[in-house]
Amino acid sequence: MIFSGDSAQMKDQRVLITGGLGFIGSNLAHTCLGLGARVTLFDSLDPRSGGNIQNIKGIEDSLTLISSDIRNFDSLCAAVSRQDLIFNCAAHTSHPYSMRDPLVDIDVNCKGVINLLEAVRRFNNTAKVVQLGTSTQIGRMRISPVDESHPEFPLDIYSANKSVAEKYMLIYGSAYQMRTTVVRLANVFGPRSCINSRDLGFMNYFIGLALKGDALTVFGKGDQLRNVCYIDDCVQALIAAAQSKKADGEVYFAAADQQTTLAEIASEIARIIGGKVKFVEWPQERQAIEVGDAVISSQKIRSHLGWQPRHSLADGLIMTKAFFTPRLKDYL
């Protein structure tokens, strides 16, 4: 699945992906290389962030890998030099972990983003920077559907810090005439995800449980509505945002328009991949940061950039199972 127009042409573009060994970053790397880009990955393999060296199996000789952390300003300064596109996929992505250790989350998701922006401002201020945001920045839904103008009242430290990082991107873009765009994602799933940790996204953790034939534990009734996004669609949204001047200074939601309850998602994972669904009482610490329904509109990115999701939940799960089944030892 490749977009027509500029977003399909990356030949010889120099692309830096921070967090490039993680789920989204590594899938971006595979696609960008396939489109002719020259790719550099920047990753510390922090075990709390879900990176996996197996994610670049088969392409490791076609890219440059820098083993460093976005909290290391000197390393970032060297890495951003001469890049055309920069995707910031580096983050601590756990909602519960951010509540247990908020200072680490601030270091990575706020200070790390400032490090990146300062490095670009000082040493390569013509590069395009795409920041990954999250739908949970909004907190509890007050207006349905949620769009980019929805007020933000996040319920956990991770979501709050991602909201702040988004604002940093927009401030630097406006104040220093830098090319920055934010793409907010929701429940991305698919190959190369971290499937062995409950802290790094419920869908991919459920997929890991299903692959083992274990129970998929749903809190409460699981009747919260969610938008999801298969990884290939997510990658195309990010590339479209990176390639378009129209996207400079903009924030976009990118998710499938259809909403599915959490219980229905779990049931579909069990049907296609394995395991069974088990309903349990809410743990107090998880219920305190639960946002409830999230009904998201991606109309803006559709109208601005021509992006649209092309994979259903079922189709994405079938492809995800096909990817992981022969590779379980590398991911579980």
Residue spans of the domains in the chain: they are 8-331
From residue 279, alpha-carbon distances to 189, 219, 223, 235, 309 in Å are 22, 6, 11, 33, 30
Radius of gyration of the chain (CA): 18
Q: In terms of C-beta density within 10 A (0-12 exposed, 13-18 middle, 19 or more buried), how is residue 58 classed? A: exposed
Mean pLDDT of 25-41: 97
pLDDT at position 57 over 50: yes
Alpha-carbon gap, residue 287 to 91, rounded angstroms: 23
Calculate mean pLDDT across residues 47-55: 89
Cis, bond preceding 145 (omega within 30 deg of 0):
yes
Both tokens assigned to 244: 């378009």
pLDDT in tens, 201-237: 899 999 999 999 999 999 999 999 999 999 999 999 9
Higher-confidence residue of 245 and 94: namely 245
End-to-end CA distance of the chain: 28
pLDDT of 2 > 50? The answer is no
pLDDT for the residue numbered 1:
37
Two tokens at 105?
Answer: 């989350």
**Whole-angstrom Cα distance, residue 244 to residue 238?**
10
Query: What's the pLDDT score for residue 21?
Result: 97
Which candidate, 260, 200, 261, 216, places its Cα nearest to that of 24? 200
Q: Does residue 273 carry a pLDDT above 60?
A: yes
What whole-number distance in Å separates Cα of residue 289 and Cα of residue 292? 9
Distance CA 134, CA 145 (A): 16
Structure tokens at 49: 């962030």
pLDDT at 8: 55
Q: What is the mean pLDDT of the segment spanning 256-263?
A: 92
Each residue's pLDDT tens digit, 143-193:
999 999 999 999 999 999 999 999 999 999 999 999 999 999 999 999 999
Question: Which pLDDT belongs to residue 159?
Answer: 96
What pLDDT score does 5 carry? 40
Q: 8-331 architecture in CATH? A: 3-Layer(aba) Sandwich (3.40)
**Residue 6 confidence class, pLDDT cut points 50, 70, 90:** very low
Query: For residue 145, what is the DSSP state?
Result: S
Mean pLDDT of the chain: 94
Which two tokens mark 170? 């927009």
Query: Does the pLDDT at position 284 exceed 90?
Result: no
Given this model, what pLDDT does residue 4 score? 40
pLDDT value, residue 7: 47
Percent of the chain with pLDDT strictly greater than 90: 87
d(CA 117, CA 164): 13
d(CA 179, CA 248) in angstroms, rounded, equals 5
Query: Residue 290: phi, psi to the nearest 5?
Result: -80, 130
Q: Give the mean pLDDT of 5-30.
A: 88
